[in-house]
């Protein structure tokens, strides 16, 4: 009788130990991208720096934004757009999968050059949609490079972001 009870218990233990938690099998956040990345350019017409920033956090969340600053300043005056979401490794080693959870943009027919976060208008997002972001880490981890691509009939140029922290 004891033998009949031992065999089912052994099978249950074997099955339970073979099952893995899905979270254990998910790839971890690529540590090379974690940090703040900026690209800065000067606009002669408005005499301000325009700044595009990616912030990738170790918890798998990101922020992507465009702001304006006084020339050679680190103080943002306001936003042109702001995007928040989550990211995870993609199917290729040089790819992230981004999923927007929030998107804000300047008001249509806005009269100002930049806006506070509270003044931005909420845009539509589909948090279940992920989009790929191919990248390269260059210059000993100091440059986050996004190669240009042809998409939807338009060419997106290469973009280089410098590490801020």
In a domain, 44, yes or no: yes
- Residue 79 is predicted with a pLDDT of 96
Within-domain flag for 24: no
Whether pLDDT at 7 is above 70: no
**How far apart are alpha carbons 102 and 33 in whole angstroms?**
21
Share of the chain above pLDDT 70, in %: 84
Residue 17 falls within a domain, yes or no?
A: no
Instruction: Specify if 3 maps to a domain.
Output: no
Does residue 18 register a pLDDT over 70?
no
Q: Tell me if 64 is assigned to some domain.
A: yes
Domain containing 139 equals 29-163
Categorize the per-residue pLDDT at 59 as very low, low, confident or very high, splitting at 50, 70 and 90.
Answer: very high
Determine, yes or no, domain membership for 84: yes
pTM, 2 dp: 0.80
Domain harbouring 117, CATH code: 2.40.128
| Overall domain count for the chain | 1
Has residue 147 been placed in a domain? yes
Residue 65 domain-assigned (yes or no): yes
The 10s digit of each residue's pLDDT in 85-121 is 999 999 898 999 999 999 999 999 889 999 999 999 9
């Amino acid at each position: 009788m004891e033998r009949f009870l031992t065999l089912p218990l052994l099978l249950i233990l074997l099955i339970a130990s073979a099952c893995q938690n899905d979270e254990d099998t998910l790839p971890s956040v690529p540590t090379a991208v974690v940090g703040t990345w900026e690209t800065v350019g000067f606009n002669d017409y408005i005499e301000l720096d325009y700044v595009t920033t990616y912030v990738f956090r170790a918890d798998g969340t990101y922020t992507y934004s465009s702001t304006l600053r006084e020339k050679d300043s680190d103080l943002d005056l306001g936003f042109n757009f702001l995007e928040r979401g989550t990211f995870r490794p993609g199917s290729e080693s040089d790819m992230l999968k981004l999923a927007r959870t929030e998107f804000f943009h300047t008001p249509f027919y806005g009269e100002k050059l930049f806006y506070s976060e509270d003044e931005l208008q909420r845009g539509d997002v589909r948090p279940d949609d992920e989009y790929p972001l191919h990248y390269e880490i260059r210059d000993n981890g100091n440059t986050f490079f996004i190669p240009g691509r042809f998409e939807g009939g338009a060419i997106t140029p290469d973009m280089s972001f410098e590490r801020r922290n």
